[in-house]
Every structure is written in structure tokens, then in C-alpha cells.
Amino acid sequence: MNISIIMDYLSNLSMNNNREWYHANKEDYKKANAAFEELLQALILEIGKFDGSILHNKPKDLTFKIVRDTRFSHDKSPYNPAFRAHISAKGKLPVPVGYYIMIKPGDESFLGGGLFADMFKDATAMIRDYIVKNGEEWERVIHEPEFEKYFTVQGTALKKVPAGYDKEHPQAEYLKFKSWYLEYPLKDEELKDADVFLAKAAECFQIMKPFNDYLNKALVDFQMPSR
């Protein structure tokens, strides 16, 4: 398993972010993508040791395209020089929440978890309502010492507690959130040895699992909107 193939390709794409270079180097993309899928397969097996719900996934079904949608962006670069995947019981769908990985040279890689999407109003309401009723469990999860060593809960948030919720609620600050997620940053140096990286990623994801479990209990009846 060779992560350097992935890093080298993405570094080159970052410096040559145009369609001509991309198509001229399509074979290099295929090799890097195959290496990423091999890494994902190994990661699935490691995560499966503590979360069997994800073992049925195939790596190619979990990845996101590197082609960017530039229609509403000032940045017209056609490609995102990163390999990304979301591993959950339902694959790469944002719900149920799972384990997110992004490999991007320049010390921009990270491991993540939780709900990143803030456009699903039903999901946001479900989590807020669950925190209201299960605040003590929330506090136990996010203040577990090992968790606090690795993570701080992040997310897009309102300036005020939304209407319908108690401004004096013990978890009022978290009721302002529209998404609740975790990020563990990775330096390029940490991606040089695949075995070391896999061990670190598995450790990280196991520590975040109670957080994911909490959100997934809140989201158990969530239905993805039909397109």
C-alpha cells in the first residue's frame, strides 16, 4: 500500500489544475485512485473491528469526485486536488453519520466525523431536540477525557438560540448549531507510512464513535430528501 502515489499525484494536480494536464495524466490518476481505494479497504477492515455496520461497503462506492462544480464559485479551478471518502452504514450518504477522510497535500488532510451537512433542516431539528432531552449524555460524550484530547465539536451555528428552544438550557450553545462535526488534522509527514496511518486513523475513529452513535440515535428516523 503506497500513499506516496496518492500524495505525488495530488501535488502535481494542485500545480497543474487544468483539464489539459488532467487528461494527459489520466493513467497517473487511475493509479492514485486505485491506491486510495486500497487504503480505504484496509481502513474499512480496521474500523470493522469496532463498528461492524460498515463492513459491507465497497471502497469505490464511498469516494467523492475530484471534479469541482464551479458554477457558483469564484475559483474556477476544475479539480479539487484531494481524495475524499465517507464510510458509514449507508455508504457515503451524509446520514447516518460515519467516518470521513480527506487526503490533501500541504498539511490539509484530516479525519472527520459527525454531521457536516447543514442544509437538511429536519436533521438539524432532530439533533437539537435530542440534545434537549439527552443533555447529560451529550456532556458525557464530548467531555470524555480521550475525546477531548483529540476533538472539539465544530459546526455552522446561529448567533442566538433558535426560536422554540430554551435560551437557558444547559446545552444552549450547542442548540445554536446547524451541524455538529469533528476534525482531526493530519500533517503530510503522518501519511508517509501506511501502516502507521491506518493505526492512527482507526484509533481516532474509535474515539469518535460514541459521538457518531449519539447523533445517529437522534437521526434514526431521518429520511434523505428525494431529488
Model pLDDT for residues 159-204, shown as the tens digit of each residue: 999 999 999 999 999 999 999 999 999 999 999 999 999 999 999 9
pLDDT recorded at residue 31: 97
Over residues 151-156, the mean pLDDT reads 97
Helix axes 194-218, 121-133, angle to 10 degrees: 80
**Does residue 2 surpass a pLDDT of 90?**
no
The pLDDT score that the predictor gives to residue 191 is 96
Task: State the Cα–Cα distance between residues 139 and 171, nearest whole angstrom.
Answer: 8
* Long-range contacts, stretch 26-32, CB < 8 angstroms, 24+ apart: 31/5, 32/5, 32/6, 32/8, 32/83
pLDDT at 72: 78
- Residues making up the chain, counted from first to last: 227
Write out the three cell numbers for 132.
434537549
101: three-class secondary structure by DSSP: strand
Percent of the chain with pLDDT strictly greater than 90: 92
Residues 114-133 have pLDDT tens digits of: 999 999 999 999 999 999 99
Tell me the three-class secondary structure of 25-46, residue by residue.
CHHHHHHHHHHHHHHHHHHHHH
Tell me how far CA of residue 185 lies from CA of 14, 89, 98, in angstroms.
19, 24, 17
- The answer on pLDDT for 227 being more than 80 is no
Cβ atoms 181, 110 nearer than 8 A: no
Q: Is the pLDDT assigned to residue 8 strictly greater than 80?
A: yes
Strands annotated E in 27-108: 83-87, 99-103
pLDDT at 155 over 90: yes
Give residue-wise pLDDT tens across range 72-108: 778 889 999 999 999 999 999 999 999 999 999 999 9
Query: What average pLDDT does the chain have?
Result: 96
pLDDT given for residue 56 in this prediction: 97
Sheet containing 109-115: give its strands across.
Answer: 83-87, 99-103, 109-115, 180-186
pLDDT band at 20 (very low <50, low <70, confident <90, very high): very high
